[in-house]
């Protein structure tokens, strides 16, 4: 399992548009991908789970990937987070 931590810098946090983009990025990989905040982890491939976390600016999230392509998934998600959030 690979994991990364990231502090959200987007002024609006993870709102509908970036949440949808994040879900689409996670769906590109076969690995089980989770996103979490404050110890609560949800499936990063499900929009309602991601939105339900209520992530705001300055909050730290954790993303994890477990599976055959976990290295590629974490690298792509890290690049996505830096570019979009």
Positions marked active-site? 15
Neighbour order of strands in the sheet with 60-66: 2-7, 60-66, 32-37, 40-43
Which of 74, 82, 77 lies closest to 2, judged by CA? Answer: 74
* Residue 29: its H or E element: none
């Amino acid at each position: 399992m690979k994991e990364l931590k990231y502090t959200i810098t987007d002024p609006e946090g993870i709102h509908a548009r970036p949440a949808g983009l994040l879900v689409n990025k996670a769906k590109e990989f076969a690995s089980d991908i989770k996103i979490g905040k404050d110890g609560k982890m949800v499936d990063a491939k499900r929009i309602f789970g991601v939105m339900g976390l209520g992530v705001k600016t300055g909050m730290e999230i954790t993303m994890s990937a477990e599976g055959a392509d976990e290295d590629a998934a974490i690298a792509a998600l890290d690049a996505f987070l830096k570019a979009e959030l």
